[in-house]
Amino acid sequence: MKLFMYNRISSYIILLKFALLHIGKCEKWNLIFEAKGKNFFDNFTFVTNNDPTHGYVNYVNKSTAVEEGYIETLLNDDVYIGCDHTNIATGRGRDSIRIHSVDKYLYGLFLLYLSHMPSGCGTWPAFWLCGSNWPYEGEIDIIEGVNNNNYDSTTLHTSAGCDFQNVSRNFTGTVKNSQNCDAFELGNSGCGIESGNPGSYGSIFNSEGGGLYALEWTIDGIKAWFWNEGSIPSDALNGSNPDPTSWGIPYANFPFGDYCPASMFKGQQVIFDLTFCGDWAGPAFAKDCPGKGGCKSYVQNNPEAFEEAYWQIHWLKIFAQE
């Protein structure tokens, strides 16, 4: 009897400790980084290498971006990140911007609040996270689409060993392609989930005044939410003490387990870029933009078509779990 009581009490203590640990783990997110206004680019580097996705693009350095007006802090403290929309493109392609965060992050809550994203035929913008040794340290695409898409896709790319094909999970979006995340399979399509909101990407997103994206990455998995302007939860909009447990079902959900261990993802840099054509927008161009000829020729010879190809960002905030 004494042994039974001891075991039962011990079990209660273990369960209580686990519950307290779990509650503490999810209790609070602390702000560790904010990019906003004139200081937005302080912790980013401008990458000028050839585009790894084979886009028709010429990524420029910071001094060129400032001189040509491709980046700017606006009167309302928003940040503008655009491209050349006045000249016929030459050389590597149309001038544009690609920036990587100086710091790397292992887990976190990433909130991006913006009023405009690049849109239009030939464009391929992305806001994403990526490890240094791709794809062995993982890639998490938060905002991504091409041409005239209206639905955002959140996609993972990894090395072999991450496949959600037969995994039960709760989300509101739509499975976009195979749920095998292996970058060396199926043409590197990754395992993507498309938001069910037609205002989550492109010109409709812009016409509705933008919105806020949230990505939660913990040892338990990756989840993504999106809200258009006017429907953003106050704790996410204020960005002081966000509580993902109150945000309802995410549109994308990738829980970790034996089928995709958390170790597939290492320290990630935050990346913004805008390329043109390339491995995705190029092949999709004829279907998405009929009657406009080839993608490269269109991007090269129609600079005025890229006036809407810009980011206008209120702020980016990154939180770490307490």
Look at the chain and count its residues: 322
Per annotation, catalytic residue among 144, 304, 307, 308: 144
Active-site annotation holds for 144: yes
Q: Give the contacts of 57 (CB within 8 A, at least 6 positions apart).
A: 51, 92, 93, 94, 95, 96, 274, 275, 276, 278
Per annotation, catalytic residue among 27, 68, 137, 139: 139
| Residue 107 tokens, joined | 């887990």
State how far the alpha carbon of 164 is from the alpha carbons of 28, 127, 181, 217, in Å. 29, 23, 8, 16
Could you identify the residue written with the tokens 């016409």?
A: 207
Could you identify the residue written with the tokens 């597939």?
A: 264
Could you identify the residue written with the tokens 């939180």?
A: 319
Task: Provide the H-helix boundaries in 140-207.
Answer: 202-207
Active-site annotation holds for 139: yes
Task: Provide the H-helix boundaries in the chain.
Answer: 2-27, 62-68, 202-207, 234-238, 278-288, 295-301
CB 156 within 8 Å of CB 139: yes
DSSP state of 51: P
DSSP state of 79: E
- Give the residue from 227, 266, 265 showing the smallest Cα distance to 247: 227
Give the catalytic positions in this structure: 139, 144
